Amino acid sequence: MIFRINVRQVIHALSDALDLVGIDEINHGKRVAFMAVECGKTMKLNTEQLNTIHHASLLHDCGVSSTQVHQKLVTELDWSGSQEHCTRGKKLLDRCRLFDGLPPIIYYHHTHWEDLPPHLDRDLALISNLIYLTDRVDALIAQHGGTNILMARHSICDTIKKYRDLLFKPELVDIFLKLATKEFFWLSLDSKHLPYYLMDLERQTDEQSVDGHTVLEIATIFADIVDAKSTFTVEHSRGVARLAKFLGSQLGYSGDMLYMLEAAGLLHDLGKLNVPDEILDKPGPLTDREMAFMMRHSFESYQILRRIKGFEKIAQWAAFHHEGMSGIGYPFHKTPNSLSTEARIIAVADVFQALAQKRPYRDSLAPEKIILKMADMAKKGKLDPELVALATTHVEKCWRHAQCLD
């Protein structure tokens, strides 16, 4: 099976996922994209260059999963540890052929203009530095939070001028300052107006055909961003994906159905990027408020994934992993008749893997204890009893898949 997807929809979905890391501070990548593309237009760059700027801007912080790191990005103009997320972002994008050409830009987007290596392609150097410039402008905007943007713009421009020919290429600073005289440039950054600009850009791209391997490459990038958020959930998404694929194969699934199941497993916890680090890493029981925050994550996953054409089924399978067999799950309270077998597989794989993995509030459980807990959950209508029975039959293999040992 060949999947038809819109690459820009995938990139926008990744940007939406990255927005979750900021909790309340959202649209950073989108504002950077708007400013950088508008600068590119003023420079009369060609369509291919503008597309590269747009995509790299939206993904420039894909190496950020921690709310603490995100806070530094929007409150500090420059700091010693900024290269860490650039390096991680490059490694993530290197794994997906859809993003050829973007990794070097991501890697250098916090490198001072005077420090960019001479061997770097000049177009890539220009785009990297442009994203660095607009990224730092947005950090300055965040530091003026609560101030009318038209009143704050002069102070922001004065700060950027100080770093002309140091952090930023002089010509890029001049282009930015020229645009900054226009009120529309600043007003368009408002969350009321920004989505329309991006939707117009999204409509300008066509769908393309990709195979199942590429779908998995895309899903793996999302999963790696999620799993990097907490030391206690490293490899969780991969474990769920591998176990879901194994359970599906035991039910007779093959080919693209297994690709889709594996992708859904990789993507199921995407919404956890919106959960503060301290809640995910908490060593004790969650309070009602913390649990309410946690319960949002599967809905956030659904809202992001359902926008990608070609991912409609994957979005449902991934996002319904906390739905029960008797309408007691969340967030949609699905009934058995409206809950697909594939979504039930992801739910069983998620619980099994979570119990097999060490968490801040408990050690990992042995296979026999996992089965006992899952059997009890099946009796209470939280898991599909037939799938729990299947996992019981193959408990050792399930445990190895959950631990990413097979």
Which amino acids are annotated catalytic?
A: 272
* Helix (H), strand (E) at residue 46: none
Residues 6+ apart with CB under 8 A from 108: 86, 116, 120, 124, 125, 128, 129, 132
CA distances (Å), origin 64, targets 23, 106, 224, 253, 301: 13, 12, 11, 35, 18
Q: How far apart are CA 205 and CA 7, in angstroms?
A: 8
Residues 6+ apart with CB under 8 A from 42: 175, 178, 179
Q: How far apart are CA 107 and CA 90, in angstroms?
A: 5
Considering just the CA atoms, what is the radius of gyration of the chain in Å?
22
Length of the chain: 406
DSSP state letters, 76-96: -S--TTTHHHHHHHHHHHHT-
Strand partners of residue 207: 6
Phi, psi of 395 (to 5 degrees): -60, -40
